[in-house]
């Protein structure tokens, strides 16, 4: 028997409980309304998430993509963690949602992760109500998830850490790399290298329109643009927007060609673990054991398409459109992407 109507709580910030609610909510949860009705008890124990029934009437919201959370970042950087440097690390508090959904309700079979069966360790986390990855649909690890690959014209494809190291090397060398992240391909190049930026501008047929710049963290952003606390908070928010801000008066390593004749610069922080790893080379086993790849400090990141065309999300399409064989010798872009099995677009 229904005993009351609903109370609207629209407009509450994520993670904020409605007034009077004693519960601590997950960081990404948004309470849009509260309603209650009296039901006959089922006399069952425990807590379960029932299997979704396809085709039922009702409205289900498509959740947005969310940048890597602090807990996942800590694991990404912890050599003792089994997801150390896993480019697709996610949990219930972060990761892709909107761009991997193929149908509703939002369950793993209705995502591009459907073709990646969970390993035993991931399945245990997925099924444990006390775990941060309980029912996290994109959950994966080095053993069961998609693998990173780098495809470079005329060379054998590289996998995993080798792919990432080579991508960083190419970027540091002034090359353009197509990165398949959340939502499709982006073209990236070193934002401190005027030749690389100009080459990307020509490749994109972009005229002198400004590019946005990806920076590793807030400290790096403060060094490049003037950010007040509100702008910094927006920049670091889980939606990872591009924030337009005045260029730093002290000057920055980001070259003028990124946004010609503009006193402002569009900046963003890494939207995924893969983007974090582009700035974080794998530590050498011992100090001085082999040459260290130069550090990348700022990358131009622009949609993987030519002017007026849609962004490339399909691997074969990206190879055709973003790495055309007809380019000048020595000017062929290499491509970094999660393998054709990637779920993240």
Residue 69 in the binding site for Zn ion (CB under 5 A): yes
Q: Annotate the chain with three-state secondary structure.
A: CCCCCCEECCCCCCCCCCCCCCCCCCCCCCCCEECCCCCCCCCCCCCCCCCCCCCCCCCCCCCCCECCCHHHHHHHCCCCCCCCCCCCCCECCEECCHHHECCCCCCHHHECCCCCCCCHHHHHHHHCCCCCCCCCCCCCCCCCCCCEEEECCCCCCEEHHHHHHHHHHHHHCCCCEEEEECCEEEEEEECCCHHHHHHHHHHHCCCCCCCEEECCCHHHHHHHECCCHHHHHHHCCCCCCCEEEEECCCCCCCCHHHCCCCCEEEEECCCCHHHHHHCCCCCCCCCCCCCCCCCCCCEEEEECCCCCCCCCCCHHHHHHHHCCCCCCCCCCCEEEEECCCCCCC
Residue 94 or 179 with smaller CB distance to Zn ion: 94
Among 28, 30, 101, 144, binds Zn ion (CB under 5 A): 144
Residue 225 in the binding site for Zn ion (CB under 5 A): no
Applying CB under 5 A, the span of 61-69, 102-110, 173-181, 288-296 interacting with Zn ion comes to 61-69
Residue 72 or 235 with smaller CB distance to Zn ion: 72
Closest separation in Å from C-beta 33 to Zn ion:
27
Residue 122 in the binding site for Zn ion (CB under 5 A): yes
Residue 119 in the binding site for Zn ion (CB under 5 A): yes
Q: Under 8 Å CB-to-CB from 288, ≥6 apart: which residues? A: none
Residue 273 in the binding site for Zn ion (CB under 5 A): no
Closest separation in Å from C-beta 141 to Zn ion:
3
Applying CB under 5 A, the span of 23-31, 90-98, 213-221, 253-261 interacting with Zn ion comes to 90-98
Residue 122 or 259 with smaller CB distance to Zn ion: 122
Residue 12 or 119 with smaller CB distance to Zn ion: 119
Residue 117 or 153 with smaller CB distance to Zn ion: 117
Closest separation in Å from C-beta 61 to Zn ion:
20
Residue 151 in the binding site for Zn ion (CB under 5 A): no
Closest separation in Å from C-beta 300 to Zn ion:
27
Among 91, 149, 197, 255, binds Zn ion (CB under 5 A): 91
Residue 178 in the binding site for Zn ion (CB under 5 A): no
Among 72, 187, 255, 269, binds Zn ion (CB under 5 A): 72
Binding-site ranges for Zn ion (CB under 5 A): 69, 72, 91, 93-94, 119, 122, 141, 143-144
């Amino acid at each position: 028997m229904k005993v009351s109507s609903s109370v609207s709580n629209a407009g509450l910030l994520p993670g904020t409980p409605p007034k009077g609610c004693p519960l601590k909510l997950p960081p990404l949860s948004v309470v849009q309304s509260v309603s209650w009705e009296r039901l006959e008890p089922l006399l069952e124990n425990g807590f379960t998430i029932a299997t979704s029934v396809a085709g039922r009437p009702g409205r289900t919201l498509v959740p947005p993509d969310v940048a890597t959370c602090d807990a996942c970042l800590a694991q990404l950087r912890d050599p003792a963690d089994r997801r150390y440097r896993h480019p697709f690390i996610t949990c219930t508090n972060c990761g892709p949602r909107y761009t991997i959904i193929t149908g509703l309700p939002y369950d793993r079979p209705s995502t591009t992760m459907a073709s990646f069966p969970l390993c035993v360790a991931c399945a245990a986390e997925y099924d444990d109500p006390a775990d941060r990855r309980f029912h996290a649909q994109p959950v994966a690890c080095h053993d069961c998830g998609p693998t990173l690959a780098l495809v470079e014209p005329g060379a054998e494809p590289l996998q995993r850490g080798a792919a990432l190291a080579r991508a960083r090397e190419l970027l540091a060398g002034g090359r353009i790399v197509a990165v398949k992240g959340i939502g499709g391909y982006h073209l990236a190049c070193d934002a401190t290298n005027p030749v690389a930026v100009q080459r990307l501008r020509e490749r994109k047929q972009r005229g002198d329109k400004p590019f946005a710049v990806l920076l590793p963290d807030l400290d790096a952003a403060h060094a490049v643009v003037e950010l007040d606390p509100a702008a910094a908070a927006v920049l670091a928010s889980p939606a990872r927007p591009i924030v337009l801000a005045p260029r730093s008066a002290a000057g920055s390593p980001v070259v003028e060609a990124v946004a010609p004749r503009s006193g402002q610069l569009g900046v963003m922080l890494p939207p995924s673990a893969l983007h974090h790893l582009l700035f974080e080379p794998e530590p050498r086993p011992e100090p001085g054991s082999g040459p260290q790849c130069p550090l990348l400090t700022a990358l131009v990141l622009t949609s993987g398409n030519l002017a007026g065309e849609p962004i490339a999300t399909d691997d074969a399409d990206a190879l055709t459109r973003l790495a055309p064989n007809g380019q000048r010798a020595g000017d062929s872009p290499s491509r970094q992407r999660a393998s054709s099995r990637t779920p993240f677009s």
